[in-house]
Amino acid sequence: PGARALGMGNAYVAVSDDIYSTYFNPAGITRARGMSQVAFNHSNWLADVNYDYAAGSVNIDGLGTLFATFTSLRVPKDEVRTIDFPEGDGRTWDANSLVIGVGYARSLTDKFSIGFQFKYVQESIWNSSASGLALDVGTYYVTPFNDLVIGASISNFGTKMQLSGRDLRL
């Protein structure tokens, strides 16, 4: 999400200083200007695939920054096509992914910040689904060398997910 990050080829871990840092490096939100930020991002991809991202943050003096995120990827319903029924057999299928996250970031010094995001992840394809929990951890350090920034982020560290459902019995 975010035009600036996309224009940089998603190389945004050490540059993140706005609400989109909640996606790339949760520690970067501590460098955002103002007391709060909100972002909404909607993208229409090929084949009517829809991608949505929403995030909001609030900076609480003396405590840090709290934020929440929502990510959704949806594939529209389509006909189930088989060798015997290339135009469809009357059934439809779809797919979607959903991620809901809450996080916290704090500046430990005027040069070093750390951030965390806990996420619930759910995916489904037709009659099969999987869900799990994940964690993002990020750091943001402004060096004394011309304010060079070193950022690090570990994303989607969490439980194993495996699809289950009646579609997998074949």
pLDDT tens string 71-101? 999 999 999 998 999 998 989 999 999 999 9
Mean pLDDT on 139-145? 94
Query: Which pTM does this prediction carry?
Result: 0.88
Beta bridge partners of residue 160, listed in sequence order: none
All residues at 6 or more sequence positions from 140 whose CB lies less than 8 Å from its CB, including other chains: 14, 16, 25, 27, 28, 30, 31, 112, 113, 114, 115, 149, 150, 151
Which region among 12-21, 53-62, 145-154 has the lowest average model confidence (pLDDT)?
Answer: 12-21
What confidence score (pLDDT) does residue 58 get?
96
Is the per-residue pLDDT at 170 higher than 70?
no
